Homo-oligomer: A and B are copies of this chain.
C-alpha cells in the first residue's frame, strides 16, 4: 500500500487510479471500469464495494486516458474575437448551452482579432482533439484547417465566412441590415449620411459598407469619400472620425455606425454635439432604449447565431451527411428615436 502511494504521488499530485480502487475493493481493474461507467454485469454487492473504495480514495476517472482510448473528447472549441465584447456573451452562452445538452464541454479562447493568434488557438484546440470547432474567424485564410477537417473535426464558422476553404457558416445578413438601416435614414429625409465601420478585410464590415453604398445608390445619392471612415475601431479614432464628418461646410446629418462599439462612441460624440444628428447603429446593445433619444439599431440575434451554429456542429458530429452550407439569419430594425430625427441642415 505504501508502495502504491509512492508510485502514484509522482504524478497528478497523488491521484488514485482504477488500479488503486481495484486493489482496495479487492476486485479486478476492469470491474472498477464497469462500475464507473455504469456498464452491466456487476453484482450489486461488488458494485457497492467498488463504490465504497471510490468514495474512500476520492477517485475521479482520468478523462485524458479515456479520451486516448476512445477517440472522442466530448468537448468542443469556441474561438471568438473578444470575450469582453457584449455581443459575444449571448453567443458564447448559447453555444455552451447546446454543448451541455449534448454532454460536451466548451473550451474557448479569444483571437483578439489577430489571425495568427486565431490559428494558434485553433491548432491548440485540435491538438486537444476537440470533437468540433465553432470559429468566429479573424483571418481570411483557413486552409490550415484542411487536414483537421479531413481528419474529422467538425467545424462551423459564425458571424463571418471561412476564407479559402469550404465550410459551414452561420451569419447575419449584414448587407441587407445595413442597407435597410441606411434606407431608413434616407426615408427620413437624410442625404448626407456618414458611415463609420471596421476594416473592410473583415467580412461583416465589408458587407455593411456594401449595404450602405447600395442604399445610397438606390436613392441616387452620390457618396463622398469624406463621409466614410473605414478601419477605425478604437474609441479615440472613432471620435475623431465622427467629429470630422460632423464639421466642415457640408457636415453629415446622419451617421450609420458599423458595430456596437462604434455606435456607443458615436453616441458619446453626439451627446456633446450642438445640433441633433440622426444615428442608426448595427448591433443592438443594452440600454440603447434608455438613452436620450433611444438609439435605433439594426439588431442581430447573437444567441440565435450561436445556437444555430452549435446545432449544425452537433449534427455533423452525429454523423449526418454533410455538405457545407451558408446560413444567413435576418436582422431586425428597431426604431427608438435616434434614427427618426429629421436632418438639421
Residues of A within 8 A of B (CB): 10-15, 58, 60-65, 67-68, 71, 73, 75, 82-86, 89-90, 92-93, 96, 100, 105-110, 123-129, 146-148, 150-153, 264, 267-268, 271, 285-287, 290-292
Pair A105/B96 contact, Cβ less than 8 Å: no
Bound Cα distance A287, B64 (Å) = 45
Please give, as numbers and ranges, the residues of chain B lying within 8 Å of A96 by CB-CB distance.
83, 109-110
Q: Which 10 A-B pairs have the closest CB atoms?
A: A13-B152, A58-B147, A84-B89, A13-B151, A11-B71, A84-B93, A63-B127, A64-B67, A83-B93, A107-B107
Residue of B nearest to A10 (CB): B71
Question: Distance (Å) between the CB of A257 and the closest chain B CB?
Answer: 14
Pair A106/B108 contact, Cβ less than 8 Å: yes
Residue of B nearest to A73 (CB): B64
Pair B128/A105 contact, Cβ less than 8 Å: yes
Please give, as numbers and ranges, the residues of chain B lying within 8 Å of A286 by CB-CB distance.
86, 264, 285-287
Most buried by B among A64, A82, A286: A64
Please give, as numbers and ranges, the residues of chain B lying within 8 Å of A148 by CB-CB distance.
58, 60
Bound Cα distance A65, B66 (Å) = 10
Mind listing 9 A-B residue pairs with CB under 8 Å? A12-B129, A62-B68, A63-B127, A63-B129, A75-B107, A84-B92, A86-B89, A106-B109, A290-B291
> Contacts A75-B128, A105-B109 given; 18 further ones with Cβ under 8 A?
A10-B71, A11-B71, A12-B129, A12-B152, A14-B151, A14-B152, A63-B128, A64-B68, A75-B107, A83-B96, A84-B90, A84-B93, A86-B89, A105-B125, A105-B128, A106-B109, A285-B287, A287-B287
Question: Distance (Å) between the CB of A87 and the closest chain B CB?
Answer: 10
Pair A12/B151 contact, Cβ less than 8 Å: yes
Residue of B nearest to A260 (CB): B286
Please give, as numbers and ranges, the residues of chain B lying within 8 Å of A60 by CB-CB distance.
123, 126-127, 147-148
Question: Distance (Å) between the CB of A288 and the closest chain B CB?
Answer: 8
Bound Cα distance A268, B290 (Å) = 7
Please give, as numbers and ranges, the residues of chain B lying within 8 Å of A64 by CB-CB distance.
64, 67-68, 73, 128-129
Residue of B nearest to A117 (CB): B100
Bound Cα distance A15, B150 (Å) = 9
